[in-house]
Chain A
Amino acid sequence: VVASAGFFDYAQGQTASSGEDLIFLGDWSEADWERLFEYTQTHRFAPGDRVITAGATDRALYLVASGQLEVVAERRRREKVATIDEGSVVGEQAFLDGQAASFDVVAATAVESLRLSLTDFETFSARHPDLGRSFLRDLGRILSLRLRATTEQLLRRR
């Protein structure tokens, strides 16, 4: 699915939802991140290991510290839908809505990623309410940008 919205955001005169805006918590300091990392768990995956299983619920956010992941769909045949590079945030929808993952996510190379479960996030934000709030707000912003793109796509289809 491709959404070109944002490249032609005439009214605002700027790209609104092209990739450059999807930076998660760009305004956090090193210290803020360090605080978050106290609540994450470092996972290591070998090539081929499954990180997220389609159909399974996993209320957690993954931050890919190194390596590359593949999003794999089981359609007529098993096909690669997308590649996820290091520095990506994965799983934010399941993290928020608790629904089952739509795709398998598999390690393409050796991968090291940090996992933040919803429960650990609750703990984190109980300890650091300010950071918890900004975390959620930014996650909301990113999802809103995606929804905006989807909405525009729907509107353009009419």
Chain B
Amino acid sequence: MQPLPVFPNYTQLPTRVPMRAWYVARVVTVTGVLGMAVLLAVRPEIGLPVFWGLVVPSLPLVWLTAPGLWRNICPLAAANQTPRVFGFSRAATPPAWLSRYAFVIGFVLFVLLVTGRKWLFDDSGMATAVLLLTVLAAAAFGGYLFKGKSGWCSSVCPLLPVQRLYGQTPFATVPNAHCRPCVGCTRNCYDFNPAVAQFADLADDDPDYVGYRRLFAGILPGLVVAFFTIPDAGPGTSVGEVYGLTAIHLLISLGAYYALDAFAPLTKARITALFGAVAISLFYWYGLVRVREAVDALTGVLVPDVVVWLGRGGVIALAVVWLVRTGRREDVYDAQTSTLQPARVGGMEALKRHAASSSDKPEVTFDGPDVRRVVADSPRPLLDIAEQIGLPLESGCRMGVCGADPVAILVGAENLSEVGTDERGTLDRLGYASNTRMACMARVLGPVSVSLEPQEESPEDAGGLPDSFDESVRSVVVVGNGIAGVTAADHVRRRHPDCEIHVIGREVHHLYNRMAISRLIYGRSAMRGLYLQPEEWYDKKRITCWLNTRASRVDRERRVVVLATGEELSYDRLILGTGGYSWVPPIGSFGTPGTFVLREAHDAASIRGYAQEHGTTRAVVAGGGLLGLEAAYALLKLGMHVTVLEVAARLLPRQLDERGSTLLREYLEGLGLHVVTDATATRVSGAPRLQAVHLADGRELPTDLLLVAAGVRSNVELARDAGLEVDRGVVVDDEMRTSDPAIFAAGDVAQHNQQVYGLWPPAVDQARIAGVNAVSVDGRIRYQGSTPVTMLKVVGVDLLSLGRFDAADGETEVVLDDPETERYAKLVMDAHGRVVGGILLGHPELAPAVTAAVREARDVSGEVERLREGDWAFLNDVTAAQSRDMETI
């Protein structure tokens, strides 16, 4: 059985007494009233003390302790419900004025009745008998006219105001045995939900409705005192005096009520209950004396004083208990009805257990205006944690290369994973204080305190000058202000303290986080936060930066770069970092408004602008590679319905095997992306704007926007025009030198050993080598090629793909595939047992180890069984040590 609510209504309460018993009781009470009337008329000397001296004084106590009992056996209620029980009630809905003023009518009748006793009823058996019969008839007539109890019991009954005042905290709850069924006849029905009716009344939005009830509570103690202390009308006291004195008592009482309301920090319900408690205490204080007189008159027995005192004490104690309980009830009522009241977690046990399980996990403290202390439940990077808790930290490559997420480690630097080669290079470029880490690379192993604001480098931190450099080099020109160009310029400056360095950037921006430009599509902060270096970086490094400037020609004989503005920059060394452009396959009518590529910040901004201008709702992304999926996710976040077209049979065919691709597709579709494989877009249609994309197989996809992400090609024109050797990219040797020894190339424009990587980590590596070699006499360094490492930056996807992901003949692969959690890991070993590649999907914890293992081509031939059993942790131990070795090379 469901536990009962704190405020159960009568239909929820168990019924213990059979209906028949209630009917019998009602017959008895109605008969009792009739008999009482007869007795009052015939033998008033008995009837009056019995009725006014015994019956009436006992009622408030019943209403205080077991109000439901009275509601079920009240003879007036029985009379009122008779027409309904016998089916002759007209059951009308009371007119609005009656509903509105019923309480006031009842309350005025009650006051008249009480004051009437002072000059009429207490001394007149006949008048009291008439009163009883009249009231009984009125109740029955009300029942005949109006539905439910709205004709008397829940509307104009003069006893109702008193019952409601005391009925909210019954000591014994007796469910309503009248209303079968409930017809919903009254507002905040006392019979429906007695415990809450009074609170609901006092919390009502209608101030008048509340006011009547407060007024009644306010006068009640005054009325009690007036009744017992003002002499009855008779010789010496006129009826007018009785009413006048009573009115003064009521006003004093009411004044006290509102004075308390103004000065005491009590709620309406509490003040009201307090006055109720005072009134009932006063009633029995005086009333018990009258009861004793009645007993004396009827039996001749004089009840001793001590009994009266015990009775008074008992009632006061009862009232105090009632008052305290009512206060508590009100708190519960407030809690349950407040619209601010929070919902409750259904799985509290699970929640508790989860919280307990993290008690021994390290804590990360993020400093700031609002300090955030969070539990690192696994050795995750600081970036992941910061993102998850919604801190404004940028992200880019998530491989420590781009420099988007520098943070200052205030305490506990030793509790983070070690700085690797890539991260070290980035930190050196950024030039912050020595306590800086790239958040994406710093995995939390113990307690740590972090500030999102990296600190300025102190002079001691700045590295000394290199041993040697080529002093004949006076001017270095770098074409390209992307990561390759900037990294190269940085390394030139590190080696060469005083040569001129010019960096020429075609775009209007300083070095920015190209990998995060999809955020420009869905985010509102535009370029804010996308810049990877402080603006003064160039000045600090004494680098002249030319923004929004094109290099139109290289004159190799004169060693001059001619700018499109007509200016010329002479160079001793030239480094090409011109990057690449988005390649668009032959798609008919591409260029129609609504067709886009995504390569530069400008592209992303245009897409966002177009989407807003034309209210686009549908988008197609041609290309299921990394960029295509990231762009698709961005469009999805912008609120569009997005379809991804992939030429191949699966997503990320260059990064994932069949299984990995399937898992990824399921997840992306779960996010709401639509994926169509084996799909080639051949043309677009629509005028003046894009309306549809047509596929090779004849299908037509209606859309407002097409984004082509089919790959990147190198910007080789400048090099080709200058007569350098160019293939797909500008051909370079191991020193990143082109066919002209004075010219180097790095990044997306460079082709090394037949490879154009098109990725940030190789670009940074190559640029460093180009920069160093450009100004070095000895100590030149050679590029060994890179293992392509890619990550998909779509939320919830922890995807890492590196090296080869399918084993050839004679090679080994180890696969961990958990269909339940949809996590997948694969390691590929060559014939000698060396790790040559792998895939991690949903295994971020293995990323550093596997990355290192692949880069080192680690021999794991003896450990294959261990790997198959799922124990990959050992990869971590050794690689940590080895990565330190690598750093010192």
Contact A122 B795 (CB under 8 A): yes
| Contact between chains at B354 and A3 (CB < 8 Å) | no
Closest to A24 in B: B343
* B390-A58 in contact (CB<8A): yes
Pairs of residues from A and B, 7 with the lowest C-beta to C-beta distance, nearest first? A123-B796, A126-B670, A10-B184, A33-B350, A26-B346, A4-B200, A65-B355
The reply to whether B189 and A37 contact each other, CB–CB distance below 8 Å, is no
A18 contacts across to B, CB distance below 8 A? 5-7, 336-337
Number of residues on chain B facing chain A (CB within 8 A): 66
- A82, B338: Cβ atoms closer than 8 Å: yes
Would you call the interface of chain A mostly helix, strand, loop, or mixed?
A: mixed
Instruction: For A1, give the chain B residue with the smallest CB separation.
Output: B339
- Which residues, 184 to 207 on B, are CB-close (under 8 Å) to A? 184, 187-189, 192-193, 196, 199-200, 203-206
**Nearest chain A CB to B846 CB, angstrom units:** 17
Q: Residue B237 at the A interface, CB < 8 A?
A: no
Q: Point out the residues of chain B lying under 8 angstroms from A58, CB to CB.
A: 390
* Count, chain A residues at interface, CB 8 A: 71
Give the CA-CA distance A66 to B358 in the complex, in Å.
13
CB distance from B512 to the nearest CB of A (A): 23
Residue of B nearest to A41 (CB): B388
User: Which residues in chain A, 74-107, are within 8 Å of chain B measured between CB atoms?
Assistant: 81-82, 84, 87-90, 92
- The answer to whether residues A146 and B339 also contact, given A8-B188, A8-B192, A122-B671 and a CB cut-off of 8 A, is yes
0/1 per residue, B432-466, Cβ < 8 Å to A? Answer: 00000000000000000000000000000000000
Contact with A along B355-376 (1 / 0, CB 8 A): 1001001010000001111110
Interface presence of B878 (CB below 8 A):
no
Q: Which chain B residues lie closer than 8 Å to A46 at the CB level? A: 373
Chain B interface (Cβ < 8 Å from any Cβ of A): 5-9, 11-12, 181-184, 187-189, 192-193, 196, 199-200, 203-206, 334-352, 354-355, 358, 361, 363, 370-375, 377, 385, 388-390, 667-668, 670-672, 795-796, 822
Q: Considering only CB atoms, which chain B residue lies closest to A103 in the complex? A: B340
13 residue pairs bridging A and B, Cβ less than 8 Å apart: A4-B196, A10-B184, A15-B193, A18-B7, A19-B341, A28-B346, A28-B347, A33-B354, A114-B354, A120-B796, A127-B667, A156-B205, A156-B206
Q: Which of A50, A59, A112 contacts B370 (CB 8 A)?
A: A50
Contact A87 B351 (CB under 8 A): yes
List A2-37 residues whose CB lies under 8 Å from chain B. Answer: 2-4, 6-8, 10-11, 13-15, 18-20, 22-28, 30, 32-34, 37
Query: How far apart sit A75 and B822, CA to CA, in the bound complex (Å)?
Result: 50
Chain A contacts for B188, CB-based, 8 A: 4, 7-8
Kindly list chain B residues whose C-beta atoms are within 8 Å of the C-beta of A150: 339
Q: A1-B338, A122-B795, A146-B339 are in contact. Are A112 and B347 (CB under 8 A)?
A: no
CB contact list, A107-146 vs B, under 8 A: 112, 114-115, 117, 119-120, 122-123, 125-127, 129, 142, 146
Given the complex of chains A and B, what is the CA–CA distance between A49 and B12 in angstroms?
42
**Least distance between B621 CB and chain A CB atoms (Å):** 18
Check A15 against B670 for contact (C-beta < 8 Å).
Answer: no
Q: What is the bound-complex CA distance between A127 and B668, given in angstroms?
A: 9
A44 touching B363 in the complex, CB below 8 Å, given contacts A65-B355, A66-B355, A122-B671: yes
Give A85 Cβ to nearest chain B Cβ, in Å.
Answer: 8
Nearest Cβ in chain A — how far from B343, in angstroms?
4
In angstroms, Cα B347 to Cα A32, docked, is 9
Query: Which residue of B has the minimal Cβ distance to A27?
Result: B346
Q: What CA separation (Å) do A32 and B349 show in the bound complex?
A: 12
Beyond contacts A42-B354, A117-B389, A125-B670: 10 other A-B pairs, Cβ-Cβ < 8 A, are: A2-B334, A11-B184, A25-B347, A41-B388, A43-B389, A45-B373, A65-B354, A66-B355, A88-B343, A90-B342
Q: Most chain-B Cβ atoms within 10 A of its Cβ — which of A1, A25, A89, A126?
A: A126
Prevailing SS type, chain B contact patch? loop
> Is A54's CB within 8 Å of the partner chain B?
no
* Residues of chain A lying within 8 A (CB to CB) of residue B361: 42
What is the distance, in angstroms, from B821's C-beta to the closest C-beta of chain A? 8
Output the nearest chain A residue to B336 by Cβ-Cβ distance: A19
| Chain A residues with CB under 8 A of B193 | 7-8, 15
Chain B residues with CB under 8 Å of A2's CB are 203, 334, 337-339
C-alpha gap A5/B668 in the complex (Å): 43
Q: How far is the CB of B819 from chain A (nearest CB, A)?
A: 12
Task: Give the nearest-CB partner of B358 in chain A.
Answer: A42
Q: Which residues of B contact A20 (CB under 8 A)?
A: 5-6, 336
Q: Verify A4–B12 contact, CB threshold 8 A.
A: no
**B685, chain A: closest CB distance, angstroms:** 33
The residue in chain B whose Cβ has the minimal distance to the Cβ of A44 is B373
Shortest distance from the beta carbon of A29 to any chain B beta carbon, whole Å: 8
Residue with the greatest number of chain A CB neighbours at <10 A, chosen from B188, B334, B341, B389: B341
A88 with B342: in contact, given A7-B193, A33-B347, A44-B374 (CB under 8 Å)? yes
B371 contact set on A, CB distance < 8 A:
49
- The listed residue (B344, B351, B374, B389) touching A22 by CB distance below 8 A is B344
Q: Smallest Cβ distance from B203 to chain A, in angstroms?
A: 4
CA distance A69 to B319 in the complex (A): 34
Residues in A neighbouring B9, C-beta threshold 8 A: 7-8, 13-15
Find out whether the CB atom of A43 lies under 8 angstroms from the CB atom of B671: no
Please, which residues of chain A bring their CB within 8 A of the CB of B672?
A: 126
Q: Which residue of B lies closest to A3 (CB)?
A: B337
Are A126 and B343 interface neighbours, CB within 8 A?
A: no
- Do B796 and A122 touch across chains, with their CB atoms under 8 A apart? yes
Contact in complex: A42, B7 (CB < 8 Å): no
Which residue of chain B has the shortest Cβ distance to A122 in the bound complex? B671
Q: Is A30's CB under 8 angstroms from B196's CB?
A: no
Chain A contacts of B795 at CB under 8 A?
119, 122-123
Known contacts A42-B355, A43-B372; is-contact A126 B667 (Cβ 8 Å): yes
Which A residues touch B12, using CB under 8 A? Answer: 14-15
Name the distance in Å between A147's Cβ and chain B's nearest Cβ.
9
A88 lies within 8 A of B339 (CB): no
Chain A proximity of B22: nearest CB distance (Å): 19
Neighbouring A residues of B670 by C-beta, 8 Å: 125-127, 129
Partner of B340 from A43, A71, A122 at Cβ < 8 Å: A71
The minimal Cβ–Cβ distance linking A128 to chain B, given in whole angstroms, is 9
Nearest-neighbour CB distance to chain A for B854, whole angstroms, equals 27
CA distance A15 to B344 in the complex (A): 17
User: Beyond A2-B337, A14-B11, A66-B355, is A89–B342 a contact (Cβ under 8 Å)?
Assistant: yes
**Chain A residue at smallest Cβ distance from B148:** A10
Could you tell me the distance in whole angstroms from the C-beta of A125 to the nearest C-beta in chain B?
7
